[in-house]
Amino acid sequence: MTELPTPASDSAATMASAAARAIARQQLATALTGNDQRWRRICQQAVADGAHATLALLAAGSTEAAALASTRNMPQHSGAAVLVRRTVEEERLWLQPELLDGETAPHPESASDSTDEAAAPIAADLAAGLATAALAKGITGAWPVEHACAEFLRHADGSGLHSVGSQLISARDLEGVEDPRLLDVVLHLIRRTDSPARGYAIVAALDLAGLIPRKLRTTYVSVLFALRDADGHRGEAGTLKLIQLQHGPSGLHPDPARMSFLQADSKVTESLTAAWLTSSLAATDACVLWSVERDRRGPANAIHGGSMAAAIAVALDDLAPRWQRFRQLRPRRLDHKCAITAGLSGETLTGVTGYKEKFEAAQERGLRVVVAESELESARPQAPPGLIPLGASTLREAVRRTRTKLNLRLYTVVTVTMLLVAIGGGAFTMVQRAQHQSEIVSLAASLATRSSELSNSDSRMSALMALAADRLHPTEASRTAMLNAVQNNQSVRATGVAESNGPVSSLAASGEVLLTAGRSNVVKAWRIPRMEPVGELHVDESVRGVVAGARDSFAIVDRSKMRIYQGALGRLPVEVKALELPDASALFKKRIFGPFFDDRTGAYAVIDEDFDGVYWAPGMARAASFALRGEAGDGAAKIVASSDFGALHQWLFNTGDDRNIQSLLLGTDQRQIFRLAVHKTPDGTPRFGLDAVVAAADVMAPITSLFYSDDDIQIGTEQGIQRWDVPAALTRAFPYGGISERVDAQLLTGAGVVALTPSGLKLMKLNGITVPLNNISAAAAAHGLVTSIARAGDLNGFLVGRNDGRVLILDPTYRWLGLEDRPRSNLVAFTPQNLLLTTSPADPQRTDSLRVSSVPAPEKNRTDTNLKVYNISGAGDGLPYINDAAGNDRIVVAAGQSRQTGGRLWVWDAQSWKVLVELDFRAETPTANIDMVTNIVLAPTLNVVAGLNPGRGDIGIWSTADWQRVATIPIVHHSGYEDLTAIRMTASTDGTTLLAQVTRANPRRSYQAVIDLRNRRVVRELAIEGDSWLSPDGTKFAVSPNGRDLVLYDIEGRRLSAAIDLKTQINDVSWRPDAGRLALSLSEARQVVFIDTARMLPDGPPWNTTTGTAPYQAAWSPDGTFLAINSGVVSNDKPVPASVQLLRPGSINWPEALCAIAGTDLTDQEWRSIAGAVASRPQLCP
């Protein structure tokens, strides 16, 4: 008799069978998504087999579908199932370049344990497989193209499979795509500009069809990850691989051959973008694929955080185009035994987290590690014994740190070459080489000199000559020339050649598209800001004008028609309407003005010098013409200037309700100013008229340009700008804005009004200060004559067209040498958290608040989360004067003078903005002029605040625990204040050492008091005269004995250096946090000079103010990256605060800045004309 199985044995067999099936599914899933990438091969074969095969992909009940679904929803019972689940966890670890503080990393097994399969979310791997299958079905025609692409992009967008860069593919690159269905897919994806994954999708489609372009170059770099799994935190090493293809969609894309199952967060995309923007490849149509392989574990299918940014940038630098023949002969190559883990902000490396785990993984694999220099001090204690992390502050330094492997090919070539030279007569070659080097040095010096000579006439050649001089033979002169070229063109963001054989006579931008026109019938379209060509528009006759409308629309006027165009998303605009111009032959034989666009009604208009014009608005079947010469006085006047469309106040002309009146201002050669009014009649047809606005007798000089707002007109004349108050009918200022020369054009920008003058472009800022923008001259004899200016579409700034065919994009708020200016302030300081501390003065002698803000500021349209305003009590005459401030993450302290009580300190809670206390530290005797707290110091380790009141001659010390004064240290003694001329206090960074300078009329009675704040006493008095500034570490100080020289002493009073003569008044000295560099503010010279403290010699060229202000005080950021400069102008012999300027000393990318100013590299002919045959032309710009 056969024994039947018991229920218990049935259950065990069922569980064992389920476990076996789970293991099989897991093994198949690994093959599909891991090293083998079997799913890619299956899909490629299905595409080759046709639509029927692709329809079967991941069909219901297929083993592949079950395997991909199993990677998330696994059984939760039986010992075998638990083992399977742990294996899956190992395969599905979420690789995290950084674990965010305070956050729990997501985990593939963190989904609900619900057994309701229908309600469970779809597994990530299954979703990826379905997306690839959908794209395959679209390629073979099994699904409609739109539906297939939408399914693929939906998954790719949500999974972080994003591309960065322009993601465009040229028609030439599509010539090899013979399958019309594949071509339809690619063209549809190109149009999907709303998807950040369209570039990846194009590459994936080509890969599935077996048409992936040929590889040009490949590079690798090691990367590190911090992981979190069921066993806790640990690290893992991996390899980042970049492949540049021969062609394909431009940009940086995940490699579909390895990364199609990737799950990435937004920080990965941000890191890819930051790295791509540092590469010269970003300015080309290069197609680069990236992938990450985990050591011996297949592709990294989940990546979180942004600490791969620096590694990607280093790899892109290795991949970037170079001289092809000598690419393999570079002195050093990337060392694959060196990993880099850091974020990226511009060219600066930033800190990440998870150092401990990453360092352990690096040591296990024998890797060197590079981290951000700013994090080195905190990262080193986390390293295991034997591993010493290296620091790099910039991308260039990181490249040098990682490119350390000797290139044996180069040394083999060098060795052979040296042997041949020696055999052939090395001595003669050495003599020739020395002579040639001498000629190179002479040429470099000549180029540097000529660059400075051209700095005010030809910005392009000035920039290129300076860069060439520094490339041939770097010297102080070449660096000065580069600095001058950049400073004179601070606002130039980009340059491009729009017309090769003539001037840019018209230009206009709407959205991301710029249209430029010369003297022909061709209008060129560009995508800004990179000046990428989009295409060309051809009209019947030569172009007379171009204007930008709203929402990517344009109007182009030739000799017979006004054509309306509509564009979208940076594409070539399409003609949507052509309007015949009445009596065109007569109208356009004269000088014309316009076309103009009215953004309120969508109307376009154009007018000639005799007041004859054409007008069209939406809804009109044809253009309407008008002739108004008879309304312009005696009829002999001709138009010489015009404004844009706008609306003056309704009550200016006593015409009642003017809301339906559009206005252009027209200036004549008889100094009259009229308003062209366009009235809408009840039947919708326009009615035109002229109204007199300013009489000829009221205009100060011949009119050259016009600009107006609601209630005033800026009349550009031969002698400057006349500001005319329309309601009051009088001149408010002439010359206005300090401009007393001819003003050929005016344009409103977000930063103020730009004026075009013979000496260059000027910006009349909103705060009333006029500053030069650059040296692009408008003089007829100058090279690069400005022919047109226009707004820059969606970009900040404006556009400049030039006589040499170039277009410049200028942003008045941009600074190549620093950051955008901050509002005026009485002082500048940084907190230890790298936040900028400034005042918001109600006027130069009253301060109503302190401000703390981020440096650099957040990107446009993003809120500065660190911005805080600390209000100071007082109203009217009660507002105090603030002379110094300091802060940290706990408190913010201001010091100055209360109008009623004298010396005072204000203390706020840094986080809540609440006033904690006001500390009275007034002088005991009436000394009103100096009864204020001039300097304060925070000593957080001692829990005290110290402040100096020169009127008392004392330093007060308060406890930050209860805000009681715990000590008073007398500084001034002997005979009191009779001959006292100055008192100043500076401190070490930690605040434990103070240096108080006491200067008297009799030098022998002057001294420096060294204070130990720990013991709250003066420890020594040094008989050293002059203004003094203590070093950050408190071991030495700089002294200016006579206000012009500078000397270093140690804290014991021993002289450390010879005096360096600055030959002008030294207003302030700021030590860089590492004490290696000094920044000297020289107000009379309007310069900031940098001094190398090791040699006590100038360190690089000085920074020259170009804004008409003088520097009075400077402060370094704690990381030494930025220098904040408090500048001002002199009024009634007193400095009045101006905007705070932020420099980046030593971190500017000179080639990038100078090539942006130049636009294009020197041609061979240009190089021969300036250098002859002394040297081969260096490659200066990409």
CA distance 480 to 1008: 36
Distance of CA 506 to the CA centre of its chain: 29
Q: Tell me which range, 186-195, 374-383, 936-945, 1166-1175, is most confidently predicted by mean pLDDT.
A: 936-945
Q: Is the sign of the CA dihedral 851, 854, 856, 860 positive or negative?
A: negative
Q: pLDDT at position 242, please?
A: 94
Confidence tier at 546 by pLDDT (50, 70, 90)? very high
For β-strands 492-497 and 215-229, DSSP reports them as unpaired
Q: Using a pLDDT cut of 70, give the percent of the chain over it.
A: 82
Distance of CA 941 to the CA centre of its chain: 37
Domains and CATH numbers, the chain: 18-107+120-406 (3.30.230.10), 411-490+1154-1171 (no CATH)
By C-alpha distance, which of 150, 126, 148 is closest to 136?
A: 148
* Residue matched to tokens 């997306």: 131
CA distance 725 to 107: 67
By C-alpha distance, which of 983, 1020, 1023, 985 is closest to 1003?
A: 1023
The partner residues of 333 in beta bridges, in order of sequence, read 405
Distance of CA 1101 to the CA centre of its chain: 24
Q: pLDDT at position 479, please?
A: 82
Q: pLDDT at position 370, please?
A: 92
By C-alpha distance, which of 844, 964, 866, 960 is closest to 913?
A: 866
Q: Per residue in 215-273, pLDDT tens?
A: 988 998 999 988 876 566 788 899 999 999 988 888 999 999 999 999 999 999 999 99
By C-alpha distance, which of 993, 1116, 970 is closest to 1051?
A: 993
15-19, 30-34, 282-286, 1165-1169: least confidently modelled range: 15-19
Is there a contact between 371 and 389 (Cβ–Cβ < 8 Å)? yes
Give the 3-state secondary structure percentages of the chain, helix then strand then coil, rounded to 5.
Answer: 25, 35, 40
Distance of CA 401 to the CA centre of its chain: 25
Q: Tell me which range, 34-48, 467-481, 647-661, 845-859, is most confidently predicted by mean pLDDT.
A: 34-48
Count of C-beta atoms within a 10 Å radius of residue 669: 14
Q: pLDDT at position 977, please?
A: 55
Is there a contact between 64 and 32 (Cβ–Cβ < 8 Å)? yes
pLDDT surpasses 80 at 786 = no
CA distance 613 to 592: 9
Region 828-849: mean pLDDT is 84
Amino acid at 133: A
Is there a contact between 653 and 679 (Cβ–Cβ < 8 Å)? no
* HEC string for 773-840: EECCCCCCCCCCCEEEEEECCCCCCEEEEECCCEEEEECCCCCCCEEEEECCCCCEEECCCCEEEEEE
Is there a contact between 667 and 640 (Cβ–Cβ < 8 Å)? yes
CA distance 999 to 439: 53
Q: pLDDT at position 658, please?
A: 47
Distance of CA 761 to the CA centre of its chain: 23
885 contacts: CB under 8 Å, gap ≥ 6 = 827, 829, 837, 839, 850, 892, 893, 894, 895, 936
Amino acid at 279: S
Q: Which residue has the higher pLDDT, 845 or 399?
A: 399
Quote the radius of gyration of the chain (alpha carbons, Å): 35
pTM above 0.75, yes or no: no
Q: pLDDT at position 946, please?
A: 96
CA distance 395 to 328: 22
CA distance 1038 to 997: 11
Classify 696 in phi/psi space as left (phi over 0), alpha (psi -120 to 50) or beta. Answer: alpha
Q: Which residue has the higher pLDDT, 1090 or 569?
A: 1090
By C-alpha distance, which of 477, 483, 490, 484 is closest to 455?
A: 484
Q: pLDDT at position 100, please?
A: 32
CA distance 82 to 89: 11
CA distance 775 to 490: 10
Q: Determine if the peptide bond prior to 735 is cis (ω within 30°).
A: yes
CB contact burial 695-730 (16+ within 10 A = b; e otherwise): eeebbbbbbbbbbbeeebbbbbbebbbbbbebeeee
| Mean pLDDT of all residues belonging to the chain | 80
137-146, 218-227, 257-266, 918-927: least confidently modelled range: 918-927
CA distance 987 to 776: 45
Q: Which residue has the higher pLDDT, 33 or 552?
A: 33
What's the token pair of residue 1168?
């021969």
Confidence tier at 131 by pLDDT (50, 70, 90)? very high
CA distance 389 to 395: 16
pLDDT surpasses 50 at 324 = no
Q: Which residue has the higher pLDDT, 285 or 646?
A: 285
Report which DSSP code applies to 317.
H
pLDDT surpasses 50 at 664 = yes
CA distance 239 to 868: 43
Region 748-776: mean pLDDT is 74
What's the token pair of residue 69?
């679904």
1132 contacts: CB under 8 Å, gap ≥ 6 = none
Q: pLDDT at position 766, please?
A: 65
CA distance 78 to 44: 38
Q: pLDDT at position 504, please?
A: 87
At residue 419, the 3 state secondary structure works out as helix
The CA–CA distances, whole Å, from 698 to 101, 675, 729 equal 67, 16, 9
Write out the DSSP string of 482-537: HHHHHHTTTTEEEEEE--SSS---EEEEETTEEEEE-SSSEEEEEETTTTEEEEEE
Region 524-551: mean pLDDT is 85
Count of C-beta atoms within a 10 Å radius of residue 772: 18
376 contacts: CB under 8 Å, gap ≥ 6 = 389, 390, 391
pLDDT surpasses 60 at 275 = yes
- Strands (DSSP E) contained in 831-880 are 835-843, 846-854, 868-871
What's the token pair of residue 293?
């392989």
231-245, 826-840, 923-937, 952-966: least confidently modelled range: 923-937
Q: Per residue in 431-459, pLDDT tens?
A: 556 666 777 888 888 888 888 777 666 77
CA distance 260 to 44: 13
Q: Is the sign of the CA dihedral 355, 360, 361, 365 positive or negative?
A: positive
What's the token pair of residue 597?
């666009």
CA distance 722 to 716: 7
Element (H, E) at 258: none
pLDDT surpasses 80 at 794 = no
pLDDT surpasses 90 at 945 = yes
Amino acid at 50: G
Q: Which residue has the higher pLDDT, 991 or 575?
A: 991
CA distance 371 to 352: 9
The CA–CA distances, whole Å, from 674 to 425, 615, 649, 666, 721 equal 83, 18, 15, 5, 18
Q: pLDDT at position 848, please?
A: 84
Q: pLDDT at position 365, please?
A: 84
Q: Which residue has the higher pLDDT, 169 or 784?
A: 169
Q: pLDDT at position 323, please?
A: 44
Q: pLDDT at position 111, please?
A: 34
Report which DSSP code applies to 148.
H
The CA–CA distances, whole Å, from 507 to 559, 606, 799 equal 17, 16, 8
Q: Which residue has the higher pLDDT, 921 or 100?
A: 921
